[in-house]
Amino acid sequence: MVTDTRDRAMFLLMLRCGLRVGEVRNLSLGDLYLQPTPGLLPRLWLHGKGDVQRVVYLSHQARRALQDWLAVRPTSADPAVFLNRFGQRLTVTGIQQRLAYRCACQRADLWITCHQLRQCAASRA
């Protein structure tokens, strides 16, 4: 179980919404539409692979985790949603290492990659 609020939000975006690790890294506060106008669902605007823009709708679980993180996110001049301990945007490698070494993978003695989280989202669709 992932207990860190930031990590939980990052991994649920990959698992439930199918985000690539690079999309999680590039996510900025201006890309979030968590309180949409009536008739529209909560969503993210992503700049994905090949700089292609796409909209991703949030699952209830991913939205809740993201809101929980934003409630405790440190104030920073960097508009990144996910910050490192220095208040700067996390790197792709930093996100991958959080999953591999600091979260459930190491404690459970299994290897899960960020891309496998994304693939789980695709297999559920």
Q: What is the pLDDT of residues 34-54, one digit of tens each?
A: 887 788 889 999 987 777 889
Number of H helices, E strands in the chain: 6, 3
Considering the entire predicted model, what is its pTM?
0.84
Closest alpha carbon to 58 in 16, 2, 114:
16
Query: Which helix (H) or strand (E) element contains residue 55?
Result: strand 53-57
Band of residue 28 on the pLDDT scale cut at 50, 70, 90: very high
Band of residue 2 on the pLDDT scale cut at 50, 70, 90: confident
Residue 21 neighbours by CB distance under 10 Å: 23
Distance CA 3, CA 50 (A): 33
Using alpha carbons, list the distances in angstroms from residue 8 to 54, 63, 105.
23, 11, 13
- What pLDDT is stored for residue 51 in this prediction? 79
**What would be the CATH architecture of the domain defined by 5-124?**
Orthogonal Bundle (1.10)
Return the bridge partners of 46, or none: 54
CA angle 53-82-78, nearest 5°? 85
